[in-house]
Amino acid sequence: MPELPEVEVLVRHLQPLLTGRRVGFVEVRRTKSVRPQTAAEFARALRNRRFTGLRRRGKFLLFDLAKVRGKPETLVGHLGMTGRMFLQPVRDVLPKHAAVVFGVGQGERFVFEDPRYFGRLSFDASPLARLGAEPLDHPDPPESFVAGLRASRQPVKVRLLDQSVVAGVGNIYASEALFVAGIWPVVPAARLGPQRIAGLWRAIREVLSEAIAWGSTVPLNWSGAGGGDALFYYGGDPEAPDTYEERLRVYDRAGEPCGRCGDTIQRTVLGSRSTFHCPRCQRQ
């Protein structure tokens, strides 16, 4: 599932392709996937607009649009669980679950594909206001992160999935960061002292930036053809033998030996979500 690194790699890929381009036709194929939720209103807000940039905030993509009186300046994208975004020639075959399609000139179109329809393309920017700090912008744990952990008796793994505590961490990198930090996922967030909080913040930054660096070293393939591994095709060729999946330390590795100590990695369920940890490297 796309988390901060996958969105970051996608943004870096799309930013130069979209900037300066003007939107032509707009085709909303699933009204569920857009806000406002009528095809006509959404198309009216987007048609003929020019992209001036593309940014990321947490797991959100922010498409900057040239100012037009009375119209929103930012299109907000979220990939949900299974969303993909790419450009393709207009004569190519559309994927089965193409939710939104719009022309970007020169015989090309932008495709937002999303088999489970959890993602969105929206002109409502209000969800951004609830986001916590950007982990890669702050070398030291921000006060909002410390406060978000201190206030809760929930397991720290569950707290990390709350986007108001830290923006962009999802189920995969939460397990990964806790492993790197040597923290047992079940530990109540409020029980972590300043040292461990600082270590956890560093670990979050490490696993996220490592994933981005890996993604950016691989040639991008955004043909939109084929599926490949739904988890980590963001960084490269879905057919490539080495995917980032192979670099994950604990996620989806239940029963396998820990790469650090050799003990068996465990799968548990926290907040009705799969959680992976090494019982030896992660205590208390």
By beta-carbon proximity to DNA, the closer residue of 163 and 282 is 163
Instruction: Report in angstroms how near the CB of residue 231 gets to DNA at its nearest.
Output: 10
CA-CA distance, 13 to 130, in Å (whole number)?
26
117 binds DNA (CB under 7 A): yes
> Of the candidates 39, 62, 73, 118, which one interacts with DNA according to CB under 7 A?
118
CA-CA distance, 216 to 8, in Å (whole number)?
10
161 binds DNA (CB under 7 A): yes
CA-CA distance, 175 to 170, in Å (whole number)?
9
> Of the candidates 13, 56, 57, 78, which one interacts with DNA according to CB under 7 A?
78
Q: Is 3 a catalytic residue?
A: yes
Q: How many chain residues are in contact with DNA, going by CB under 7 A?
A: 32
Instruction: Report in angstroms how near the CB of residue 48 gets to DNA at its nearest.
Output: 29
By beta-carbon proximity to DNA, the closer residue of 17 and 161 is 161
> Of the candidates 47, 97, 196, 280, which one interacts with DNA according to CB under 7 A?
97
Contacts of 143 (CB under 8 A, 6+ apart): none
Question: Pairing between strand 108-113 and 98-103?
Answer: antiparallel
Site string for DNA, 244-283 (x = CB under 7 A): ---------------------------xxxx---------
By beta-carbon proximity to DNA, the closer residue of 126 and 217 is 126
Instruction: Report in angstroms how near the CB of residue 81 gets to DNA at its nearest.
Output: 4
Our measurement of the distance from residue 19's CA atom to the centroid of its chain's CA atoms, rounded to an integer in Å, reads: 21
Starting at the earlier edge strand, list the strands of the sheet with 51-57: 34-35, 120-122, 74-78, 60-65, 51-57
State both tokens at 91: 């004569």
State both tokens at 282: 């992660």
CA-CA distance, 107 to 89, in Å (whole number)?
6
Exposure string of 145-160, with b = 16+ CB inside 10 Å and e = fewer, is bbebbeebebbbbbbb
Site string for DNA, 189-228 (x = CB under 7 A): --------------------------------------x-
Q: Which residues are catalytic?
A: 2-3, 59, 273
